[in-house]
Amino acid sequence: MKIIVLFGKPGAGKGTQAALLKETFSLVHISTGDVFRANIKGNTPLGVMAKSFIDKGELVPDAVTVDMLSAEVEKNPDAKGFIFDGFPRTTAQAEALDALLEEKCLKVDATIALVADDEVLIERLLERGKRSGRSDDTDALKIRTRFEEYNLKTAPLITYYSQQGKYQEVNGIGEIESISAKLAAIIEAL
Ligand code: C5P
Ligand code: MG
């Protein structure tokens, strides 16, 4: 069982890389953002609630996100491993994930960050927004709020996982395939 957290700012390439790595390593890919967006599309109570935060570029409250993530994990009892993309995004979420895994005698094996400069990321998000139709990708103010949320709430996880010897960085700028190869080498070596 390999449990990988893909880490990085909005636009760093977490979703793109997770989609490739899940095939290579037969992992279940859980993207919290995708689950929220599916709920928004389906107009579920969770979606309606999450939308009010996502539309502003803010993080959804921890309790909601943790419950949702936990349900997604439970849906996959036969998984050979997981790749989490966009979760955890706060220290409380990381602690909840550790507790959830510990109950199953599991643990996070590695947190791998995709690193890129803000200017590159903003360009990528605006470009993606043209196709994705995601309002949080097209509005400069929402993008800025997402970066602020990252710096304030998510960046502390670098210390959290570094202290456990579980944090590694990969340059997120370059060819998708070459970045994927670097990530795969790290996962292979676990
Ligand atoms: O990961 P992604 O960029 O798809 O997330 C989109 C939005 O979903 C975030 O900007 C945030 O509003 C919400 N989200 C969250 N907590 C998470 C993951 C996503 O609040 N752990
Ligand atoms: Mg994503």
Q: Can you give the pLDDT at residue 133? A: 85
Taking the C-alpha atoms of residue 82 and residue 34, their distance in angstroms, rounded to an integer, is 15
Cα(17) to ligand 2 centroid in Å equals 10
C-beta of 60 in contact with ligand 1 (< 6 A): yes
Q: Can you give the pLDDT at residue 20? A: 98
pTM over 0.75: yes
Asked if pLDDT for residue 42 goes beyond 90, the answer is yes
Q: Can you give the pLDDT at residue 91? A: 98
Do residues 62 and 90 lie in contact, with contact meaning Cβ atoms separated by under 8 Å? Answer: yes
Q: Which fold has domain 2-188?
A: Rossmann fold (3.40.50)
Q: Whose CA is nearest to atom 4 of ligand 1?
A: 33
C-beta of 54 in contact with ligand 1 (< 6 A): yes
Whole-Å CA distances, 147 to 9, 40, 117, 131: 7, 22, 11, 21
Provide the pLDDT confidence category of residue 47 given band limits of 50, 70 and 90.
very high
C-beta of 46 in contact with ligand 1 (< 6 A): no
Q: Can you give the pLDDT at residue 59? A: 98
SS (H, E, C) 67-131: HHHHHHHHCCCCCCEEEEECCCCCHHHHHHHHHHHHHCCCCCCEEEEEECCHHHHHHHHHHHHHH
Q: pLDDT digits over 54-92, tens only?
A: 999 999 999 999 999 999 999 999 999 999 999 999 999
136 Cα nearest atom in ligand 1: 10
Q: Can you give the pLDDT at residue 5? A: 98
Q: pLDDT digits over 125-175, tens only?
A: 999 999 988 889 999 999 999 999 999 999 999 999 999 999 999 999 999
C-beta of 9 in contact with ligand 1 (< 6 A): no
Backbone angles phi, psi at 77, to 5 degrees: -65, -20
User: Tokens 């909840």 map to which residue?
Assistant: 96
Catalytic residues: 14, 89, 128, 134, 146
Asked if pLDDT for residue 24 goes beyond 90, the answer is yes
Instruction: Give the pair of three-digit tokens for residue 66.
Output: 């943790």
Q: pLDDT digits over 98-117, tens only?
A: 999 999 999 999 999 999 99
